[in-house]
Structure formats: C-alpha cells, structure tokens
C-alpha cells in the first residue's frame, strides 16, 4: 500500500514536471516569436520647399493633407517635417516667416522646433535638420524625402525668397556632417521632384542611403492624389524595394487619371524608378570603360557623335539646357563606337530594381550629356560619377565650340519644290549641297498661313523631316487642324500645333490655349493650358488626350529660373477655351523675304474663344482661301540654326 502511494506521488511529480516543461517551452516559443515580431520603428523626414508650387496652387499643403497620423502611428512611423522657401503657405499651421520643424501628431503637424526663416537652399539648413531629427527621434530606420522642383545635375529645393537651391555638392556636404552614413544609412531616399533620377545623384547618395526613388523626367502634380500618401502605406515588414514599388505605382495611377481617367492609356512622358545604390560603384566602373572608348574615338568621330547626340531623346525637352539623357539609351546609340555598352546596360539592370515608364527610351537612370549649352560643365567634374566620362563630355563640347560652321551661310530654298506623289500626300522637298549634308544634324519645318493683314500665322511645327541622300523631305498634308464649336460652326480658328511624337499608327501634337470661366480674355483667373491632341485611324480629326498647365505667368518675374512643374487639370472645369497664336512678317508688303522675321513677331494673341463642351477639330486641307508657306529649320553639328526661304504650298 505504501509502495502504491509512493508510485502515485512519483507519477504526479513527473506529470507536474512535464507540465512545467511544456509551459516553459511554450513560453520560450512565444517569447522568441514575440521578439522576432517586435515592430520596427521608422522616422520619415520631409524636406519641403514650398516655392511657387505652394504659393500659387497650394500643392504642398494638399500633399501634406494626405499624410495620416492614425495610419502612420499604427505602423510605428514617425513623420518629421521642415518647411520653408515659399512666400505663402495655404494652411494655418506653417508660418511663412519661419523655417521651423514639425512633428505629425494626432491634431496634425505640430511645431517642435521654432526657427527664424532660413535659406532652404543652404547646406547648413539641411545639415541642421538631419542632426536635429537624429538627436531627438531614435528609430530603427530613417528615410528622407525631398519635396520641391528638381533640375537634373543642378540639384533641387529652390527657395522662393533667395533664388538659391541645394546643389549636389551642398547635399553631399550636409550629409557628410550627419550621422546618416556607413552603418547608419537612410533606408530609402525619395525625390518628389523633377529630373533627379540621375546616375550623378545616385553616386552622391550611395554613401548615405541604401535605395533611391526618383524620376528621370518631369514629375507631374495634380489634385487627384499625393505621392506622400505612400507614407501611410509603409508596413513594418516592408522592404525598401516594396516601399519604392508602392510609390512608383501611386505615381503610375496618378498619371493615368490625370490624362484620361483610364488605366489603359498614358499620354504624357513619365517615368519613376527604384535604384539599389549598392550597385552604383559597379555601374560607375562600366561607365569608365565605355567612356574611355568614346574619348579615344572622339577626335575622328566628332561629326558622327554630334549627329547621334542631337537626335537623342532628352528629358524636359522644352527646357533643353538640362541636357539629361537616358543612360541605357545613350549606350545603345553609341554601340558602334564601343563594345563596352553592354557592360553599362547590364550594370543598369542590376542597379534599377524597379522601373515604370511609358516611353521606350527610359530605363531608370539618366546622365548629363551637354549639347545645347554648357551650363553645368564647370561644376561637373566635382559631381561626376566617372572621371573619364567627365573628360569625354568636356572634350566633346570643346570640339563643338571649336568647329566652324559656315556651310549654311548661303542656305536658301533655291532648290525647294512641292512634290505630289500621291493624292493623300503632300511632300515638300529641298536639296542640300554636299557641304551642307556633311554639316547636317537635324531639321524641322514650320507652316505659316497668310492672314492677309501683313502677318503670317505659325500654325504647325513639324519634327518629322527626313534627309534622303542630299534631299530634305517633309510631309505636311493631313496634319493641320482648325478649332470650332457647334454654336459657331461656320467660325473657326487656327490651332498652333507642334509635333511631339510621330508613330506609324498615330501623331501626337501639342498646342497652347487659354482656359477661363468666362468668355473674356481679360478675366483674372485664366489659365494657360497645354493640350496634347492625337490623330489616329479611329480619330482622323483628332481628340484631346491630355491637358495640363504650368504656374501663372504673372508670378514669373519673382521666381528663380527653373523648370516649372506641370499640373494636370481637366478641360471640363473651364467653360471657355481661347486659342493662342504668334504671327510673323516673313514677307513684306511686296512679297519680298524679310530676313528679320524671327525678331518681328506680333504680340501673342488670343485669337478666338469657344465653348469647351462643344469644341470640335476641323481638318485643314490646303483648299481653303488661305495661302500657306513652309519654312525649313536646319540645325548643324554646332547646334546653330538656319532657316530657309518660305516655300509656297499650292
């Protein structure tokens, strides 16, 4: 009996021990699991220079409104903002006379560091912000957002008060004296700016960040969505690549809705990419090898190089002095002169983790290749990712400046003619001399309508000019449009059109108009708008594919000289549209050529006003009562432009 009792006691003890072991095991398991699931804290810094984007259209305020405290707090994300550089904030929590620092709290952005107004384009101001955040907000991860205009290798953050901005050297100096480097890099750096997706910027920031999110092209803004909304969507488990993809996809949808409210079509050149900065050194090495080949070939191949460069697609093509081209596209264009282009392209594919683009020439990273001017050559050696490449473009531009161009001194239309080969085609041709062909880079043409008042209205600028043997050839029929509306069907006005893309299946044209709430051209809320019109088989008379505006012209005199960010708008918001055109005296009253016609334009005019909800396009077929003239514009290898005499279309 005693043994039985003892045995039962032993069993109970063993069971208790087993239960304790099981409990301890489960406790250890959940402890380890909980430890592994500890939420990572993150601080996102926003360096916001409101500039004219805020003072004119309130875009900075609109973007900040999308950042949600409830969502960021749930994801353990702390948002710290420094704001300044604009003459007017369109909110009640940022003081225009300060460059203070704010923390996103439940009540909104609350001031945590009161500072007098500072130059947002100053190195010390950026450095102060970096160190302040690090000293006061300890986090597992840090991220940084630049918000303003961007200017390629010129930098970004253009201050409206001082006309100063952060150059790449300024950025480098500020980060060099901050904690964000080596083992404590930013996880991602986001440029909510234009044109800053460059290899030069990536090279600067490889020391301070793991990943970069940026656009090679102009970056559009609208009131449809805010790219700062991505801050709300950052989950604790997200990798920087996943965050970058979310950001790019938000921009992709923004562009789609800005254009035609459809995810099926994209109508303005756009691109954004996510770049792994740890791969930039390998990319730099490949650029060095590629550039060495080009540098060696340059003395004997300048004419070939200049022709290739002059015809390459470049970003912000309306503002040519930025001279930024896609790096991948650049190497493909010069494959005949180097076998190392494939090395560069392979390195780009390794560095660019994610790229969205609606153009065939954008692959995620651009590079500075000056052709139109040398604005940034004097600073380039200090910010170049490759010293050999820096030597190449400096040498290229030196040869360009020292290349005489006199072959077009007698350029005229003495050999011009109208060739009608088919009923649906009107080809204008002009023969060039052998010297002119040798010095030829590219050509375009302009069509003028004689308005019978001494002026000739420019109604078309065409880029689709071919040089076959020694003959320039341009097709002009079927592209000219007039605008009318149903109420005034018998009345119409010339559209001043410029070709922006010519493909086999369609032609995209751009025109400038004025949108307003009244039919008065003097109404103070008018907007200058840029319309993209597409001609295709389904729409032979054209349809409006996109519309955007820049900032109001009356503010231009107090702004610094940088690229204005396009703002997407909808035509239906404005009841009236007025055409804009420029007229020139290309012939005098006796029909003689006026060599000074380019300097003697009339003032820009708003020619006619129509109801936007009733507008229609009318094809112009040269059979009207107007006389039409074509003028060829030829650009030589030194980027000098020459104009032919006017060729009358009959």
pLDDT the model gives residue 582: 86
What does the alpha-carbon distance between residue 190 and residue 186 come to, in Å, rounded to a whole number?
10
One DSSP character per residue, 430-482 reads: EE--HHHHHTEEEEEEEEEEE-SSS-EEEEEEE--EEEETTEEEEE-TT--EE
Distant-in-sequence, close-in-space partners of 304: CB < 8 Å, separation ≥ 6: 337
- CA 15 → CA 24, 122, 312, 347, distances in Å? 14, 72, 81, 63
* pLDDT higher than threshold 50 for residue 264: no
pLDDT band at 10 (very low <50, low <70, confident <90, very high): low
Q: What is the mean pLDDT of the chain?
A: 86
pLDDT the model gives residue 478: 80
* pLDDT higher than threshold 90 for residue 119: yes
CB-CB contact of 636 with 642 (8 Å): yes
Most confident region among 379-383, 506-510, 569-573 by mean pLDDT: 379-383
What does the alpha-carbon distance between residue 609 and residue 607 come to, in Å, rounded to a whole number?
7
Structure tokens at 592: 């003689």
Q: What integer is the mean pLDDT of 449-465?
A: 90
CB-CB contact of 325 with 313 (8 Å): yes
Break the chain into its structural domains and give their ranges.
42-279, 282-402, 417-649
| CA atoms within a 13 Å half-sphere pointing along the CA-CB vector of 513 | 30
What does the alpha-carbon distance between residue 517 and residue 605 come to, in Å, rounded to a whole number?
18
Dihedral (CA of 321, 324, 330, 331) sign: positive
What does the alpha-carbon distance between residue 532 and residue 131 come to, in Å, rounded to a whole number?
46
pLDDT tens-place string over residues 458-484 = 999 999 899 998 999 998 878 888 888
- CA 567 → CA 358, 494, 499, distances in Å? 18, 25, 21
Q: What integer is the mean pLDDT of 424-433?
A: 79
Q: Which of 40-44, 260-264, 600-604 shows the lowest mean pLDDT across its residues?
A: 260-264
pLDDT the model gives residue 7: 60
In 168-266, alpha helices (H)? 168-176, 199-205, 240-260
pLDDT the model gives residue 554: 40
Terminal-residue alpha carbon distance, the chain: 128
pLDDT the model gives residue 556: 34
Distant-in-sequence, close-in-space partners of 331: CB < 8 Å, separation ≥ 6: 290, 338, 341, 342, 344, 345
Q: Which residue has the higher pLDDT, 34 or 429?
A: 429
CB-CB contact of 205 with 211 (8 Å): no
* pLDDT higher than threshold 90 for residue 591: no
One DSSP character per residue, 279-306 reads: GHHHHHHHHHHHHHHHHHHHHHHHHHHH
- Of 533, 498, 557, 536, residue with least CA distance to 617: 533
What does the alpha-carbon distance between residue 408 and residue 415 come to, in Å, rounded to a whole number?
14
pLDDT the model gives residue 263: 36
pLDDT band at 509 (very low <50, low <70, confident <90, very high): very high
Q: Which of 100-104, 160-164, 327-331, 414-418 shows the lowest mean pLDDT across its residues?
A: 414-418
CATH number of 42-279: 3.40.50.11970
What does the alpha-carbon distance between residue 632 and residue 216 come to, in Å, rounded to a whole number?
31
pLDDT the model gives residue 555: 37
Q: Which of 226-240, 246-260, 292-306 shows the lowest mean pLDDT across its residues?
A: 246-260
What does the alpha-carbon distance between residue 219 and residue 223 come to, in Å, rounded to a whole number?
14
What does the alpha-carbon distance between residue 583 and residue 374 come to, in Å, rounded to a whole number?
32
pLDDT tens-place string over residues 353-362 = 999 998 889 9
- What is the helix (H) or strand (E) element at residue 73, kind and residue range? helix 69-74
Q: Which of 243-247, 264-268, 399-403 shows the lowest mean pLDDT across its residues?
A: 264-268
Structure tokens at 475: 């097709």
Percentage of residues in the chain having pLDDT higher than 90:
55
Helix or strand or coil: residue 42? strand
pLDDT the model gives residue 26: 56
- CA 620 → CA 359, 475, 582, distances in Å? 30, 14, 19
pLDDT the model gives residue 522: 47
pLDDT tens-place string over residues 133-142 = 999 999 999 9
Write out 598-609 in H/E/C secondary structure: HHCECCCEEEEE
pLDDT the model gives residue 577: 87
pLDDT tens-place string over residues 535-551 = 999 999 998 887 877 65
- Of 126, 65, 107, residue with least CA distance to 90: 65
């Amino acid at each position: 009996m005693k043994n039985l009792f003892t045995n039962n006691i032993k069993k109970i003890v063993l069971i208790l021990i087993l239960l304790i072991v099981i409990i301890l095991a489960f406790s250890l398991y959940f402890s380890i699991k909980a430890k592994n699931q500890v939420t990572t804290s993150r601080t996102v810094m926003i360096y916001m220079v409101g500039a004219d984007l805020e003072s004119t259209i309130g875009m900075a305020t609109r973007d900040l409104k999308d950042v949600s405290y409830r969502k960021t707090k749930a994801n353990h994300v702390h948002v710290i903002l420094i704001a300044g550089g604009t003459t007017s904030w369109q909110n009640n929590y940022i003081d225009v006379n300060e460059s203070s620092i704010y923390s996103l709290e439940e009540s909104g952005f609350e001031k945590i560091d009161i500072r007098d107004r500072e130059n947002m384009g100053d190195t010390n101001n950026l450095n102060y912000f970096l160190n302040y955040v690090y000293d006061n907000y300890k986090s597992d991860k840090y991220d940084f957002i630049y918000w303003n205009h961007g200017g390629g290798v010129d930098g970004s953050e253009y201050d409206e008060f001082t006309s100063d901005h952060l150059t790449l050297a300024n950025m480098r100096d500020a980060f060099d004296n901050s904690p964000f480097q080596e083992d404590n890099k930013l996880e991602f750096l986001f440029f909510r700016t234009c044109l800053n997706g460059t290899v030069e910027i990536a090279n600067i920031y490889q020391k301070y960040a793991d990943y970069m999110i940026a656009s090679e092209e102009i970056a559009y803004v609208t009131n449809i969505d805010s790219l700062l909304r991505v801050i709300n969507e950052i989950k604790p488990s997200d990798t920087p690549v996943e965050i970058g993809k979310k950001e790019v996809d938000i921009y992709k949808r923004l562009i789609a809705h800005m254009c035609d409210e459809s995810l099926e079509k994209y109508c303005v050149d756009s691109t954004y990419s996510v770049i792994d900065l740890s791969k930039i050194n390998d990319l730099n090495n490949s650029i060095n090898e590629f550039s060495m080949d080009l540098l060696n070939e340059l003395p004997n191949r300048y004419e070939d190089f200049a022709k290739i460069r002059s015809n390459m697609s470049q970003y912000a093509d309306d503002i040519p002095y930025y001279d930024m081209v896609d790096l991948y596209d650049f190497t493909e264009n010069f494959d005949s002169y180097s076998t190392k282009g494939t090395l560069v392209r392979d390195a780009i594919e390794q560095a660019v983790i994610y790229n969205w683009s609606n153009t065939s020439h954008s692959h995620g990273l651009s590079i500075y290749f000056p052709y139109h001017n040398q604005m940034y050559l004097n600073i380039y050696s200090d910010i170049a990712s490759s010293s050999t490449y820096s030597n190449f473009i400096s040498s290229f531009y030196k040869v360009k400046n020292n290349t005489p161009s006199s072959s077009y001194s007698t350029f005229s239309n003495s050999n011009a003619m109208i060739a009608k080969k088919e009923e649906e085609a009107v080809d204008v041709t002009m023969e060039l001399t052998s010297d002119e062909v040798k010095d030829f880079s590219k050509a375009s043409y302009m069509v003028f309508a004689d308005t019978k008042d001494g002026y000739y209205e420019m109604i078309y600028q065409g880029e689709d000019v071919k040089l076959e043997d020694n003959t320039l050839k341009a097709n002009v029929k079927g592209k000219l449009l007039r605008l009318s509306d149903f109420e005034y069907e018998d009345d119409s006005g010339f559209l001043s059109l410029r070709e922006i893309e010519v493909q086999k299946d369609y032609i995209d044209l751009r025109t400038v108009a004025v949108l307003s709430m009244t039919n008065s051209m003097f109404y103070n809320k008018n907007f200058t708008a840029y319309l993209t019109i597409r001609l295709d088989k389904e729409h032979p008379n054209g349809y409006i594919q996109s519309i955007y505006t820049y900032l109001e012209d009356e503010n231009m005199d107090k702004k610094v000289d940088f690229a204005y960010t396009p703002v997407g708008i909808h035509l239906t918001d404005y009841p009236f549209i007025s055409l804009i055109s420029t007229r020139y005296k290309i012939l005098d009253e006796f029909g003689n050529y006026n060599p000074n016609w380019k300097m003697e334009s009339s003032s820009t005019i708003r020619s006619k006003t129509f109801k936007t909800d009733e507008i229609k396009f009318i094809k112009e077929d040269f059979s009207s009562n107007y006389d039409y003239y074509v003028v060829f514009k030829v650009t030589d290898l030194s980027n000098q432009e020459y104009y032919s005499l006017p060729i009358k279309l009959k």
